Chain A
């Protein structure tokens, strides 16, 4: 857990710095950290806030970036389906990338087990605390550093670090490459429609590659 804790702290520190270097005030950066509590969505929102894009553009982008959590929530649903609504709401809110990965590797198959809830909560609340400390440290550290250092760019680099592990097979890489081309070519479109367009093309390319690879395998 110490290695994971260190990673969360770094990630939070960078997100805090990126928020403080953007057009957010200190209280807004702190508010965003405590309320939104979703690094990739926060970092993705910053350039859109700076670019004065309409609010719905920012929300649609955040939903797409967060779609992976919808899939995760389906994964942990069997373990907690008997809990009350408000308990499930809290568990859902805390269901991040790392929690999900650690929970699923500890409990790969659903079996009745009273330790699901304490394990999940203990891990998530530790994650939450380390995250908030790192994020606050980043927000206040960034104030001590001159703007010309461009610390905000560290937020983009943190997004690169979360993006690259997703590209772990051929279809995902080709889908990513097509998303890159679309994003660059469609950059001039209003409302950052380039994001939605890149997502649609990437899904089509990804699914077509999956089908093609499956066919090749069954022919071989």
Chain B
């Protein structure tokens, strides 16, 4: 991506933050969110995050076959386990990075 395009992304994302965060504050009371729609919206962000995280963990840059023999996969798995045990964001990241680094050095 060119430097110009990246700045366009940054400005576009600024608009996205502004509109999504303020949505109902900005439009006032004209529209109400039905319960069905609210329920539907609950599942969307998690699914989008998974669709971003999964390729980073399961695929290597070289191929789009699922590859679990990688520091990315095991680093991710360790961070998930760390979150379950500790509920701490800091430990999730530190232990995940630790596992990632150890496996990266072993496989190197």
Interface residues of chain A, those whose CB is within 8 Å of chain B, are 6-7, 10-11, 14, 23-25, 28, 31-32, 35-38, 40-45, 47, 49, 52, 55, 58-59, 61-74, 76-77, 80-81, 85, 88-89, 91-96, 149-151, 153-154, 156-164, 166-167, 171-172, 175-176, 179-180, 182-184, 187-188, 192, 194-195, 198-199, 201-203, 205-207, 210
Q: Can you sample 28 A-B contacts with CB below 8 Å?
A: A28-B6, A35-B14, A38-B16, A55-B8, A59-B12, A59-B16, A66-B21, A71-B33, A71-B41, A73-B21, A74-B24, A74-B38, A77-B29, A89-B18, A92-B22, A153-B97, A154-B93, A154-B97, A157-B75, A157-B79, A157-B93, A161-B83, A161-B93, A163-B53, A182-B51, A183-B55, A187-B54, A206-B40
In contact, A68 and B41 (Cβ under 8 angstroms): yes
A159 touches B22 (CB 8 A): no
Q: A160-B83, A198-B47 are contacts. A10–B28 as well, Cβ < 8 Å?
A: no
**What separation, in Å, do the CA atoms of A205 and B28 have in the docked complex?**
32
Q: How far is the CA of A150 from the CA of B83 in the complex (A)?
A: 21
Instruction: Determine if B48 and A180 form an interchain contact, defined as CB atoms under 8 angstroms apart.
Output: no
Q: How far is the CA of A92 from the CA of B82 in the complex (A)?
A: 33
List CB contacts (< 8 Å) of B22-67 with chain A: 22-26, 28-29, 33, 36, 38-59, 64, 66
> Are A202 and B97 in touch, CB under 8 angstroms?
no
User: In the complex, how many residues of chain B place their beta carbon closer than 8 angstroms to a beta carbon of chain A?
Assistant: 67
Q: How far is the CA of A23 from the CA of B46 in the complex (A)?
A: 25
Complex Cα gap A92–B19 (Å): 8
**B13 touching A36, Cβ below 8 Å:** yes
Residues on the A chain within 8 Å of B50, using CB: 163, 176, 179-180, 183, 198, 202
